[in-house]
Amino acid sequence: MPIQQTLSIIKPDAVKQNVIGEILTRFEKNGLSIVAGKYLFLTKEQAEKFYDIHRERPFFTDLVDFMISGPVFVSVLEGEDAVLKNREIMGATDPKEAADGTIRKDFAKSIDANAVHGSDSHENAIKEIMFFFREDEIISKLEL
Ligand code: CMP
């Protein structure tokens, strides 16, 4: 299995529930390392650009409004097969379909307020990581 990096966003609903630490712990307990992280308030322009791929979808405006409704915690996760592993730990996009023990099952209230975002492919992970982080802000475990 290759060592990969992937982008995680802890969304405003989870930040409001005060579970940043609990969510990060789940990543660590499942073999992923947090190799970069920051707490920030997205601007409308940033949220629209980040989710540009969904611009034509009916939920785009609600998605952007939600993502700027409060601060988020963005991080880079690193580990074996990190993209897929993160998606397994998060659970299905719609919490009604999320498996027991996943982040979305435990913390998400709806498909909009679904606690976390994670990159869906290695290619998108690279793009999404570069959207939020400079190279010198990421300290890979492989370099230590
Ligand atoms: P996320 O992984 O951040 O990617 C896009 C987000 O759009 C998704 O999580 C959901 O929070 C939100 N969303 C709202 N409605 C839908 C939908 N019908 N299908 C996919 N994503 C949706």
Q: Which residues line ligand 1 (CB under 6 A)?
A: 54, 59, 63, 93, 111-112, 114, 117
Each residue's pLDDT, cut to its tens digit, for the chain (144 residues) gives 799 999 999 999 999 999 999 999 999 999 999 999 999 999 999 999 999 999 999 999 999 999 999 999 999 999 999 999 999 999 999 999 999 999 999 999 999 999 999 999 999 999 999 999 999 999 999 988
pLDDT at 1: 78
Ligand 1, atom 4: nearest CA belongs to which residue?
A: 117
| Probe residue for ligand 1, chosen from 63, 96, 112, 120 as the CB with the greatest number of ligand atoms within 8 Å | 63
- HEC sequence for the chain: CCEEEEEEEECHHHHHCCCHHHHHHHHHHCCCEEEEEEEECCCHHHHHHHCHHHCCCCCHHHHHHHHCCCCEEEEEEEEECHHHHHHHHHCCCCHHHCCCCCHHHHHCCCCCCCCEEECCCHHHHHHHHHHHCCHHHCCCHHHC
CA of residue 140 to ligand 1 center, whole Å: 29
pLDDT at 76: 98
pLDDT at 143: 83
**Residues involved in catalysis:** 117
pLDDT at 22: 98
